[in-house]
Structure 1
């Protein structure tokens, strides 16, 4: 999996923020609040995201409804995996990453590493 282009990223952010599958029209209307954008552009990008595996879709009447194929967190973890694979010495890359975590992030990481079945968000950790 690779990173997303600027419009793809905006669309995926909207899809991940939604609580239900969305039509092209709904995504277009949401994007059009911030910028002028053609409906067909949004439709094409969402179709491309579907073919790349980022969005699932189901026909509903004459239109498709789209939903994310993975969570935002799963996508981000995949990107981190690619960075680690391309970053040379994995341990050194991880060390530099951990050095930049704040105390809450470091505690969440510590919880996940010591108990993988425990959510990093339990007991108020973020």
Structure 2
């Protein structure tokens, strides 16, 4: 008896997102299934798309009786930032989470973060 090899959900989500990023239009689950390099059942693709929608990573619009999906984030960096914000928003001890995050930055990352924060600060803007 052969066991099927299960890939991590994150790997499948990344493959689906890559297909959506490569498309020039919203895709239905069968479109995504066709665009993937790996064979996945349409129900699996639909489940992955629904989960990505629940996470706010993709948008969906009606396409007849089904949905068509498009990315809500523009690239891998935006996806990582979206995930970081989502995790931060879940925590009650936001200052503690940020403090621990910052404490593990490398010197180069810390300098980059300081530079980005300075660039984001607009004179006269209270926030």
TM-score range, shorter chain: 0.5 to 0.7
Change over 3 Å in CA distance of 1:79–1:113 after alignment to 2 = same
1:57 to 57, 60, 64: 60
TM-score by length of 1: 0.58
Contact 1:46 1:55 (8 Å CA) reproduced: yes
SS in 1 for 2:120: coil
Is 1:22 aligned to residue 22 of structure 2?
A: no
Alignment partner, residue 113 of structure 2: 109
Distance 1:17 1:94, change over 3 A: farther
8 Å CA contact 2:17, 2:71 repeated in 1: yes
1:93 aligns with 2:101: yes
Match among 2, 10, 18 for residue 15 of structure 2: 10
Pairwise CA distance, 1:77: 3.3
After TM superposition, the score normalised by the length of structure 2 is: 0.57
Give the direction of change, closer, same or farther, for the CA distance of 1:74–1:19 in structure 2 (3 Å limit): farther
Q: Count residues with an aligned counterpart.
A: 109
Larger Rg: 2
5+ residue gaps, structure 2: 1-7, 123-127
Any unmatched runs of 5+ in structure 1?
Answer: 119-126
CA RMSD of aligned residues (A): 3.6
Most deviating of 71-80 and 50-59: 71-80
How far does residue 66 in structure 1 lie from its aligned partner after superposition? 0.6
Matched, 1:78 2:82: no
